[in-house]
Structure 1
Amino acid sequence: MNILVTYISMTGRNEKIAKHLVDYLEEHNADVTLEQMIETDAFALDSYDAVIVETYTYNDGEIPDEAQDFYDDLKDVDLNHTKFAVLGSSSKQHLHFGRAVDYFTMQLNSSNGEQVADSVKIDQDPDEDDFRRVDQLADYVLKSLK
C-alpha cells in the first residue's frame, strides 16, 4: 500500500495532524510518503494507491495561496480512480467553516478520483475526538486498499 499524505500548514496545526496520520498508517503497515502540498505534483498522484489531502481553510472559506497551484493543476489531472480522502482544519467562527476541504473534495471527485472516506473538518486545534476521526478516515483508506 503506497499512500501519499500531502498537506499545507500555516500554524503547524495541520502538520501535527499529518504526522499523526502518517504514524497511524505506518503502524498499519502502509508505505507512506509525507509531502508539503507546495512540493506535490498533482500529475503524479495516480502513481499512488491512495492520496490523502489535508488543507486549512484561509480567511472566510478560501483555499490557501500556497495550495492554489496544486488545486488548479487538479483540474487538468485524470486520477484514474485513485482512492482519496480529504481533511483539514478551520475555525467555526468563520461563516464558511472548512470550505477549502469541500473544494478539494469536489475537485478530486471531478478529476475522476474515488473518494473512500467522508471528509473530516477539525475546528482549530485537534482534540482526542478529532484524532479518533482522523484515525477512522485512515481506517477507511486502508480498508479500501485491501
Structure 2
Amino acid sequence: MKILVTYTSMTGRNEKIAKYLADYLEQKQAEVTLEQIIDTDAYELDDYNAVIVDTYTYNDGEVPDEAKDFFDDLEDVDLHRTKFAVLGSSSKAHLHFGRAVDYFTMQLNSSNGEQAADSVKIDQDPDKNDFERINRLADTVLNSLK
C-alpha cells in the first residue's frame, strides 16, 4: 500500500500531526511518502493508493498560500478513484474553523477521488483524543485499501 501524506504547517502543529500519521501508517506496514504540499505534484497523486492531506486554515478560512498551487492543480487532475482523507489543525476561536480542510475535501472529491475517511479537524495542538481520531482516520484509510 503506497500512501502519500502531504502537509503544510505554519506553526509546526500540522507537521507534527503529519509525522505522527506517517509513523502510525508505517507501523501498520504501509509504504509512506511524507512531503510538504509545496513539493507535491497534484498530477502524480494517482501513483499512490491513497493520499492524505494535512492542512491548516489560514486567516479568514483560506487555503494556505503555499498550498494554493497544489489546490488549484487539483481542478485539472483525474484521481481515478484514488482514496483520500483530509485533516488539519485550526483554532475554534476563528469563525471559519478548519475551512481549508473542507475546501480540500471538496476539491479532492471533485477531482474524482474517493473519500476513504471522514475529515478530522483539530483545535490547536492535538491531545490524546485527537491522536485517537487520527489513528481512526489512518485505520479507515488502510481498511479501504484491502
TM-score in terms of structure 1 length: 0.99
Corresponding residue SS for 1:56: coil
For 2:57, the equivalent position in structure 1 comes to 57
% identity of equivalent residues: 79
Are residue 38 (structure 1) and residue 7 (structure 2) matched? no
Query: What is the aligned length?
Result: 146
Q: Distance in 1 between matches of 2:11 and 2:93?
A: 17
Kindly indicate whether residue 112 of structure 2 is the aligned counterpart of residue 112 of structure 1. yes
Unaligned regions of 5+ residues in structure 1, if any? none
Computed over aligned residues only, the root mean square deviation of the Cα atoms, in angstroms, reads 0.4
Q: What amino acid is the match of 1:134?
A: I
The CA distance in 2 between the partners of 1:92 and 1:105, in whole Å, is 19
SS at match of 1:9: coil
Which SS does the other structure have where 2:55 is aligned? strand
Give the alignment of 1:89-128 within 5 angstroms: 89-128=89-128
Runs of at least 5 residues in structure 2 that lack an aligned partner in the other structure: none
CA distance in 2, matches of 1:116, 1:3: 12
For residue 81 of structure 1, report the CA deviation from its aligned partner. Answer: 0.2
Structure 1 runs (4+) deviating above 6 angstroms are none
Following the alignment from structure 1 to structure 2, what is the Cα–Cα distance between the partners of residues 144 and 57?
A: 27
Question: Following the alignment from structure 1 to structure 2, what is the Cα–Cα distance between the partners of residues 145 and 51?
Answer: 12
Question: How many angstroms apart in 1 are the aligned matches of 2:114 and 2:63?
Answer: 21
